[in-house]
Amino acid sequence: MRIRFKPWARQELEESKFYIDNPEEYKGKWKNVFKNPSYPLHIELGCGKGGFISKISVNNANVNYIGIDLVDAMLGLAKRKVEEEFKENKKEIDNVFLTRYDIERITNIFEQNDNIERIYINFCNPWPRGKHHKKRLTHTRQLEKYRTFLNDNGEIYFKTDDDQLFADTLNYLKDTKFEIEKYTYDLANENDFWNNIETEHERMFKEQGIKIKALIAKKISE
């Protein structure tokens, strides 16, 4: 998703207590940044404007979260969204951090000692042209990287509107020793699939009559 430049975003992020500008320095030590380091750690890859991570973090105080994106403008909006959700619920922001990083280089900021239990990937770029498939966040090249820091039995929660990306992702996961625990081609009709948090993209696609595909995959130990 393209977004206009936000001249205020960089300064607000730098002044924020829950934004980290140097994530490589925390590799293997992420639990130490949180008020409750013993809580499970979940990450969202491509957190965008923050609609998902703001709601899931405020609703799950006993889980720590990290939202990652590459664009300051997105992160600036995500930062404001987190503040809005926590203020509305009268809660302290103590279980979520945002950071700017290129997800293709994610192994530079996470390792096994970070004890990451879950990865969320919501409506990532489908990169439809064959020569660009390696850029997909669910491509085997990326999944192999996630395996290096996901806990044994760690999970990937994935949602998309794109039929081909979903079909390819099912194969990518099988090729990289992930067990597909459940999947659906129409999330709206799966009331007990998971405690779904509807994103901005999700609402837009549903209004257009596009079915949302979703899956949960578990890392299989070597």
User: Does the predicted TM-score (pTM) go above 0.75?
Assistant: yes
Q: Where are the domains of the chain?
A: 9-219
pLDDT the model gives residue 53? 97
Give, for all 222 residues of the chain, the pLDDT tens digit. 567 777 888 899 999 999 999 999 999 999 999 999 999 999 999 999 999 999 999 999 999 999 999 999 999 999 999 999 999 999 999 999 999 999 999 999 999 999 999 999 999 999 999 999 999 999 999 999 999 999 999 999 999 999 999 999 999 999 999 999 999 999 999 888 888 998 888 999 989 999 999 999 999 987
Q: CATH: 3.90.1660.10, 1.10.3210.10, 3.40.50.150, 3.40.50.300. Which one for 9-219? A: 3.40.50.150
pLDDT the model gives residue 2? 64
DSSP secondary structure, the chain, as one string: ------TTHHHHHHH-TTEES-GGGGTT-GGGGSSSTTS-EEEEES-TTSHHHHHHHHH-TTSEEEEEES-HHHHHHHHHHHHHHHHHTT----SEEEEE--GGGGGGT--GGG-EEEEEEES-----SGGGGGGSTTSHHHHHHHHHHEEEEEEEEEEES-HHHHHHHHHHHHHTTEEEEEEES-GGG-TTS------HHHHHHHHTTPPPEEEEEEEPP-
